[in-house]
Amino acid sequence: MLKPIVEYKDVHKSFGEVEVLKGINLDIYPGEKIAVIGPSGSGKTTIIRMLMTLEEPTSGDIYVDGKNLWKMEKNGEMVRANEKHLREIRSDIGMVFQHFNLFPHMTILENCMTAPIHVKKEDKEEVRERSIHMLERVGLGDKLNNYPSQLSGGQKQRVAMARALVMRPKIMLFDEVTSALDPELVGEVLEVIRDLAKHEDMAMVLVTHEMDFALDIADKVLFLDKGIIAEQGTAREVIEQSDNARLQEFLRRFRK
């Protein structure tokens, strides 16, 4: 029996007075491709940001590979995790952001190389080769020494994916990665994700508004509504068999 690589146990998250997530229970298995869909403000992004340690849950636990992410044991008690504990677990997780967040003061090759070299202390030449290979794979082999400001949005987002991939995460998070792109650039980014979904054995969690794409590549689809997972299952189950009225309305609005 395969064990989940990530488990959410009754996770709540509030921002001030507003409770965005009201009890999330979710298992992510190694290699699984999950799409998270739902209306804006439903807390989709917050789910993956907590796993990336960018937001701390208000209550509940998240386990990565059986280890509690936000809590650690100290003198026989579970206390709030410190940075060292977070760093240890975080090395399994990678993320691609809506606004790319490339480092503007580095070339795109340096963007890819900096973390493996400085964080994982890997051999520079090996990292260089791997980075070049990865940038070629996302179709940017001829731009290695360009700066991010010289690239289009779609190209930037592909660099961001290469940068995350070079770290070899076990779980890769995609936070609305096409939302900030001009419509004509969305396709090239989705192609890369489709390629990754097909050929990589890491788990992937996609928060997205590209409904048809999500339903197409995902093993499991989560429909998030009003802070809970209102519906989940395979794409087929979710689309065809669910009688959740809000989901049906949502799908009608977003599918082409």
Q: Judged by CB under 8 A, which of 17, 77, 83, 201 binds other proteins?
A: 83
Helix (H) / strand (E) containing 109: helix 108-118
CB of 223 closer than 8 Å to CB of 217? no
Q: Judged by CB under 8 A, which of 13, 90, 156, 158 binds other proteins?
A: 90
CB nearer to other proteins: pick between 44 and 90: 90
CB nearer to other proteins: pick between 121 and 252: 121
Q: Is 105 in the site for other proteins (CB under 8 A)?
A: yes
Q: Is 158 in the site for other proteins (CB under 8 A)?
A: no
CB nearer to other proteins: pick between 103 and 254: 103
CB of 96 closer than 8 Å to CB of 173? yes
Q: What angle do CA 180, 113, 103 make, to 5 degrees?
A: 40
Nearest CA among 159, 139, 138, 161 for reference residue 147: 159
Q: Is 22 in the site for other proteins (CB under 8 A)?
A: no
| Three-class secondary structure of residue 83 per DSSP | helix
Distance from first CA to last CA of the chain, Å, rounded? 38
Stretch in the footprint of other proteins (CB under 8 A) among 5-13, 24-32, 140-148, 192-200: 140-148
Residues in touch with other proteins (CB under 8 A): 52-54, 83, 87, 90-91, 93-95, 97, 99-105, 114-115, 118-119, 146-150, 163-164, 167
